[in-house]
Structure 1
Amino acid sequence: MTPGSNLPLAAARVAVTVTAPVRLDVSGLLLTVGGKVRSDDDFVFYNQPAGPGVSHRAASDGDTITVDTSAVPAEIDKVVVTASLDAPGATFAGTEPTGTVRDADGGAVLATFTPPRLGPETALVVMEIYRRGGGWKVRAVGQGYADGLAGIATDFGVSVEEPAPPAPAAPPAPVPPAQWAPPTGAPAPVAPPPQAASPAPQAPAPATGKINLDKGRVSLRKNQTVSLVKGGRPLLASVRMGLGWEPARRGRSIDLDASVIAYGPDRDKIDSCYFGKLRILDAAIQHSGDNLTGDGAGDDEVITVHLGGIPPQVTGLVFVVNSFSGQKFSEVAKAYCRLTDAQTGEELVRFDLTGAEPRTGVMMAKLIRQYSGEWEMTALGDFVDARTVRGMVKPAAAAL
């Protein structure tokens, strides 16, 4: 499976095992349609190995969350399976955990997923088992957090209590820094000696381990992702996706068409916005109109997206460019897409397409709505043979 992809479950009882070259703590959270647990009893992990319809089993070859869909309460919409690193201070950079979904009774493998492009994350939502149309499905997620299992638990409404330090009988005497060391396996004390060594500066951690907009404009390479979050808040204002290109040979115009396709959670097409249909989703998405040459400075075609106005049934947007006249992208130079703030014109994210193939369509980027409401933008740069947006529907769905 790839991030965002989903499959119907052929078994009523499924077991999700998460494995990695290092020790992981795996847990399951039962969430309502609001994306939160009903109480802390809906958090299933090594210290609370059983919940309604969900159980945890620890093993040397990977912890397993088993979901009996017939026993999951009716008000529970999904069960998310998470993984966090057991070693303090470790991140998923260089570590590739894999989630494997099996028939819990027969043992047959139903799906596998390895989240790509991991870096500073210390915890992940690996997969989710969710209701859809009277049945159950599994979706590959791969959403990262920088503040460990506690960050995931808090995000989904679990009360996380920090361990209280023991109360000293008398004011402690100063301890020389050279003699102080934390006991092996114990939590770091609340107030360590002033000169005690610390493995890393204790700066406030962001809500997730993904790249966001806090440091200004982000330049993406192919398959990189940025979370549209600034100052800890999701960007839900109006943005513009500008797409531009130039003829590879001077004096020869090239007619390309930029479009966006809107998809639902099952990768089903909801609508598409292009030069022949300039407004969709009650004008939440608007197209600037057709550019017939590619000449001139600036964006050739612009698609405005009112993020806060996108209907909840739309979970993904894929931006594509096609050559209706049949000219190949090997005849195109300096193709790019860039996301700007529609109010200020500030450039937020840019992706410059490097390389070209003699094909008539390219998927430039996708926007995916996350659990917490923010959107993520991923650079694609994948070429296909399609001269119209209609021919892009299937390959773009597969890219979600």
Structure 2
Amino acid sequence: MTPGSNLPLPAARVAVDVAAPVRLDVSGLLLTDQGKVRSDDDFIFYNQPTGPGVTHRPGGQGAPDAIVVDTSAIPAGIEKVVVTASPDAAGQTFQGIEPTATVRDADSGAVLAAFTPPRLGSETALVVVEIYRRNGVWKVRAVGQGYANGLAGIATDFGVSVDEPAPAAPAPQAPPAPPAAPPAAPSRARAGSAPTAPAAPPAPPAPAPQAAPAAPAAPAAPGKINLDKGRVNLRKNETVSLVKGGRPLLSQVRMGLGWEPAYRGKDIDLDASVIAYGPNRNMLDACYFGRLSILGGAIQHSGDNLTGEGAGDDETITVDLGRIPAEATGLVFTVNSFTGQKFTEVAKAYCRLIDAGSGEELVRFDLTSAESKTGVMMAKLIRQFSGEWEMTAMGDFVKARTVRDMVRPAGQAL
């Protein structure tokens, strides 16, 4: 299999083993249609080996760990099971030790599919494959998504609680406490079930008359931008997660693109387009004035505006995020000048993302500068492996008068 490819499963019970030149820890997560676990019980690994329809099977004598999935026993609310792997040695990356996932009939042992993720480097954990349900049929998809922050990064992305106790700051002027025994460091610690060191006997409280107040805690690192606080104004290269109230936006959104002439009396004929890509940056299709509907109607164009005249959006592209097929993982929104006018002749170019149902503006990105070129990549929408979509403001200018000319630079920008 290649990244992004999928196959129907001819067997109800399948085993996915992941082998590499080094010892790997293999895990499985049961995910809902929101791309999240229901609770930490849906994280299946060596220390929590069973879940509804999913079992961790330890390797031994050279055999790799495996995740066994009984699709007939998967709960109705679970849409997919992702199989992950990470090197057993702490901090080791996958560079030079690319793993191979083999999907087998769990009863007969017959090989159904195999996948080796390509081009690995600093990744310390991988989503290797996923077993998913589509229109009542169970399939396997090759993924190969890497994480540089280990299995904890995967776990938190999919909603698993990762408890890592923070060291407490010593109280000012307090007598030093006796040193605590260092926590045990088992070779196979896991996110979501981190082993806890035995508690040291409590020291008697030290009297602290006139003790100085504790120093204020450092501010928490800012989280990923989302839409909980309303409209977001993006600057170039900033990203917003299309999540509101903790739930991905699966309704229709509309990308509006607008511009005005920089000089009065001169019409500007620009064309807005969106290019859909697969996981290997391979173009799937493009939606523009000459092709107003793609991906089975999931993306639709409003039609060509020949002048850019008037306030408001000049061209819009409606995207039904919930209907985007699984093989489409990236969308790049572009604007081109077919007649050869440069963007130095354009004023007030912008793009904005709108809730197509309510008309509410969600995200806006205004170009603050222009270059003497004929094309610009305005923004991209990227589907995360958790199922969420993220929008990144781009504002990158290229020499491209048609959407065809944009395919290569837009793919490189994903």
TM-score over 0.5 for the pair: yes
Name the aligned partner's letter for residue 235 of structure 1.
L
Q: Provide the residue aligned with 2:328 in structure 1.
A: 314
How far apart, CA to CA, are the structure 1 residues paired with 2:25 and 2:223?
Answer: 20
Q: Give 1:220's match in structure 2, choosing from 213, 230, 234.
A: 234
Q: Does 1:343 align with 2:357?
A: yes
Q: What are the Cα deviations for residues 56-78 of structure 1, in whole angstroms up to 9, with x where unaligned?
A: 3657xx54457563475659998
Q: Does 1:361 align with 2:375?
A: yes
How far apart, CA to CA, are the structure 2 residues paired with 1:32 and 1:52?
Answer: 15
Q: Give 2:273's match in structure 1, choosing from 245, 259, 277.
A: 259
Q: Provide the residue aligned with 2:65 in structure 1.
A: 52
Asked whether the equivalents of residues 98 and 120 of structure 2 are also in contact (C-alpha less than 8 Å), the reply is: no
The percent identity for this pair of structures is 59
Q: Give 1:69's match in structure 2, choosing from 76, 89, 99.
A: 99
Count of residue pairs brought into register by the alignment: 316
Name the aligned partner's letter for residue 267 of structure 1.
R
Q: Does 1:294 align with 2:296?
A: no
Name the aligned partner's letter for residue 275 of structure 1.
F
How far apart, CA to CA, are the structure 2 residues paired with 1:309 and 1:288?
Answer: 18
Shift of 1:39: 2.1
Name the aligned partner's letter for residue 247 of structure 1.
P
The residue correspondences of 1:241-260 to structure 2 (distance < 5 A) are 241-260=255-274
Name the aligned partner's letter for residue 52 of structure 1.
D
The residue correspondences of 1:119-198 to structure 2 (distance < 5 A) are 139=145, 152-153=154-155, 155-156=157-158
How far apart, CA to CA, are the structure 2 residues paired with 1:305 and 1:374?
Answer: 14
Higher CA-based Rg: 2
Change in Cα spacing, 1:111 to 1:152, as seen in structure 2 (3 Å) is closer
How far apart, CA to CA, are the structure 2 residues paired with 1:281 and 1:345?
Answer: 23
Give the 3-state SS of the residue equivalent to 1:305 in structure 2.
strand
Q: Give 2:46's match in structure 1, choosing from 41, 51, 58.
A: 41
Shift of 1:238: 0.6
Asked whether the equivalents of residues 40 and 158 of structure 1 are also in contact (C-alpha less than 8 Å), the reply is: no
How far apart, CA to CA, are the structure 2 residues paired with 1:270 and 1:33?
Answer: 29
Change in Cα spacing, 1:181 to 1:369, as seen in structure 2 (3 Å) is farther
Shift of 1:352: 0.6
Q: Does 1:334 align with 2:348?
A: yes
Q: Provide the residue aligned with 1:121 in structure 2.
A: none
Shift of 1:154: 5.5
Asked whether the equivalents of residues 69 and 136 of structure 1 are also in contact (C-alpha less than 8 Å), the reply is: no
Shift of 1:393: 0.8
Q: What are the Cα deviations for residues 169-228 of structure 1, in whole angstroms up to 9, with x where unaligned?
A: xxxxxxx99869997678899xxx9x995864999x9xx931110111111111111000
Give the 3-state SS of the residue equivalent to 1:216 in structure 2.
coil
Asked whether the equivalents of residues 262 and 316 of structure 1 are also in contact (C-alpha less than 8 Å), the reply is: yes
Q: Provide the residue aligned with 2:287 in structure 1.
A: 273
Q: Does 1:233 align with 2:263?
A: no
Change in Cα spacing, 1:268 to 1:328, as seen in structure 2 (3 Å) is same
Name the aligned partner's letter for residue 257 of structure 2.
L
The CA RMSD measured in Å over matched residues stands at 4.7
Instruction: Show structure 2 runs of 5+ residues with no match.
Output: 5-18, 49-57, 67-84, 106-112, 131-139, 166-170, 184-195, 200-204, 206-210
Change in Cα spacing, 1:29 to 1:362, as seen in structure 2 (3 Å) is farther
Q: Provide the residue aligned with 2:406 in structure 1.
A: 392
Give the 3-state SS of the residue equivalent to 1:299 in structure 2.
coil
Give TM-score, length-normalised by structure 1: 0.63
Name the aligned partner's letter for residue 382 of structure 1.
D
Asked whether the equivalents of residues 367 and 376 of structure 1 are also in contact (C-alpha less than 8 Å), the reply is: yes
Shift of 1:357: 1.0
Change in Cα spacing, 1:330 to 1:154, as seen in structure 2 (3 Å) is closer
Asked whether the equivalents of residues 52 and 73 of structure 1 are also in contact (C-alpha less than 8 Å), the reply is: no
Shift of 1:294: 1.1
Give the 3-state SS of the residue equivalent to 2:297 in structure 1.
coil
Name the aligned partner's letter for residue 45 of structure 2.
D
How far apart, CA to CA, are the structure 1 residues paired with 2:353 and 2:257?
Answer: 9
The residue correspondences of 1:98-117 to structure 2 (distance < 5 A) are 112=121
How far apart, CA to CA, are the structure 1 residues paired with 2:343 and 2:328?
Answer: 30
How far apart, CA to CA, are the structure 1 residues paired with 2:312 and 2:224?
Answer: 29
Asked whether the equivalents of residues 278 and 284 of structure 2 are also in contact (C-alpha less than 8 Å), the reply is: yes
Change in Cα spacing, 1:327 to 1:215, as seen in structure 2 (3 Å) is same
Shift of 1:329: 0.8
How far apart, CA to CA, are the structure 2 residues paired with 1:363 and 1:374?
Answer: 22
Name the aligned partner's letter for residue 153 of structure 1.
A
Give TM-score, length-normalised by structure 2: 0.61
Give the 3-state SS of the residue equivalent to 1:395 in structure 2.
helix
Shift of 1:234: 0.4
Shift of 1:161: 7.7
How far apart, CA to CA, are the structure 2 residues paired with 1:162 and 1:113?
Answer: 23
Shift of 1:287: 0.7
Change in Cα spacing, 1:73 to 1:368, as seen in structure 2 (3 Å) is same
